[in-house]
Amino acid sequence: MYSIFTSMKVFSDPWVGHPGLNRLGMHRKRLKAAQAISRFRRAQTVHRYDRDEQHLLDQGFVAIENFLPADEFDALRAECHASVDAAKAITPLPAKPEVWGFGDSDRHDWGFDRFDGSTLNRFIRPGPLAAAFPRNRRFKRLARIVTGKTMAARRNWIYQTVNGDDTEIPDQQREFHRDTFFNCMKYWFFIDPVREEDGPFVYVPGSHKLTPERIAWEEKKAEAAVEARLQQNRRGMTGSFRIEREELAALGLPPPQSYPVPGNTLVVANVFGFHRRGDAVPGTDRLSLYGNHRPQPFIPLGS
Ligand SMILES: [Fe+2]
């Protein structure tokens, strides 16, 4: 029972996936309560918004170019490249995996590798300049705008994404989805430029809003996930609901947008909104600082 008051999202959980509770509208109630609480937390922590902050609030997404002063950025970029080279010297980039879906983490002293389908995710421990990034004052405000909470610095990584060949092993992150049932944030502070062929982030503007149409869609997906649990279909029990392109239009949402950006750009997204990893040419890569900020949804105190 306790799990329904946490961030637990998978329908394999006996309470989250409980048929009777879901018939009583539990999923809708969790969505609404989590929205109200994150709004309450935000109101405790941020009172006035600048243009970028307002954009994040309205669209669920913002890309801020020239985020750091040039000299600060140059020093950070040099440090990140040194970290990437040091990791590669110890552990060369692994060959493609054999399995479909999320692979296991392969841990090392410098961090870990994990495959999503054919895409290699290399997470490297940040050096001193990179580790200080989450303490940036503007960044902290953006985290609060999405969740009402600041992000723990330990969730900040140097993130190298190496694109594989999707025709061989599909990457689930390239399907449109939302991460979970409440407002949560991911960010990428891009060290190197991201071109269209590098697989830029793709987001559906405004899709973070809990509209009546969205609630109806969520309930339909929750019903299907409960059914999947009864059928013992593991894949169908996921709490990261997938959405088809035709369904986006039916929800009254605009077309998805892809965001290639120069280096020194901070991309912040509310990943309750629909998004995916962009299509990429195999062998290309992206380099960023990255964090996944998903504070517990039912704690009313902002920070
Ligand atoms: Fe995601």
Distance, CA 291 to ligand 1 centroid (Å)? 12
Cα separation, 108 vs 91, whole angstroms? 8
Q: What's the distance, Cα to Cα, between the start and end of the chain in Å?
A: 27
Residue 52's H or E segment, with its range, is helix 51-59
**What's the gap in Å between 18 CA and the centre of ligand 1?**
25
**pLDDT of residue 95 exceeding 90:** no
Per-chain mean pLDDT for the chain: 94
Ligand 1 center from residue 84 Cα (angstroms)? 24
Burial of 299 (0-12, 13-18, 19+ CB in 10 A): middle
Instruction: Please name the residues in contact with 282: beta carbons below 8 A apart, sequence gap of 6 or more.
Output: 118, 163, 164, 165, 166
Q: Distance, CA 228 to ligand 1 centroid (Å)?
A: 21
- Kindly give the distance from the C-alpha atom of residue 208 to the centroid of ligand 1, in angstroms, as a whole number: 13
- CA 101 / ligand 1 centre spacing (Å): 14
Domain locations in the chain as residue ranges:
2-293
**Torsion angle in degrees (nearest 10) through CA of 205, 209, 211, 213:** 50
Please give the pLDDT value at position 100: 59
Question: Per-residue pLDDT for 103 more than 80?
Answer: no
What span, in angstroms and rounded, lies between the C-alpha atoms of 91 and 113?
A: 10
Report how far ligand 1's centroid is from the alpha carbon of 216 (Å): 21
What is the 27 CA–ligand 1 centroid distance (Å)?
A: 20
- 108-121 core/surface letters (b: 16 or more CB in 10 A; e: else): eebbbbbbbbbbbb
Using the mean position of ligand 1's atoms as its centre, give its distance from the Cα of residue 275 in Å: 6
Q: What is the pLDDT of residue 228?
A: 93
In the prediction, which pLDDT does 107 show? Answer: 94
**CA–CA–CA angle 76, 82, 88 (5° rounding):** 140
Cα 95 to ligand 1 centre (Å): 24
Query: What spacing in Å lies between the alpha carbon of 272 and ligand 1's midpoint?
Result: 9
* Residue 101 pLDDT class (50, 70, 90 cuts): low
239-268: average pLDDT: 95
pLDDT (average), residues 51-80 = 98
CB atoms within 10 A of CB 95: 8
HSE (CB half, 13 Å, CA atoms) of 119? 25
Between the CA of 256 and the centroid of ligand 1 the distance, in Å, is 14
**Is the model's pLDDT at 139 over the cut of 80?**
yes
Model confidence pLDDT, tens digit, residues 7-21: 999 999 999 999 999
Q: In angstroms, what is the span from residue 163 Cα to ligand 1's centroid?
A: 16
**Ligand 1 centroid to residue 99 C-alpha, Å:** 20
Q: Distance between CA 87 and CA 94 in Å, rounded? A: 12
Closest CA to 77 of 37, 30, 126: 126
What average pLDDT score do residues 236-257 get?
93
Instruction: Read off the pLDDT band of 259 (50, 70, 90).
Output: very high
Question: Residue 90 Cα, ligand 1 centroid: separation in angstroms?
Answer: 29
212 C-alpha to center of ligand 1: Å? 22
pLDDT digits (tens, 9 = 90+) for 158-196: 999 999 887 777 777 889 999 999 999 999 999 999 999
Q: Give the whole-number percent of the chain exceeding pLDDT 90.
A: 86
- Ion ligand 1, residues whose Cβ is below 5 A away: 179
Expressed in angstroms and rounded, the spacing between residue 30 Cα and the centre of ligand 1 is 20
In words, the CATH class of domain 2-293 is mainly beta
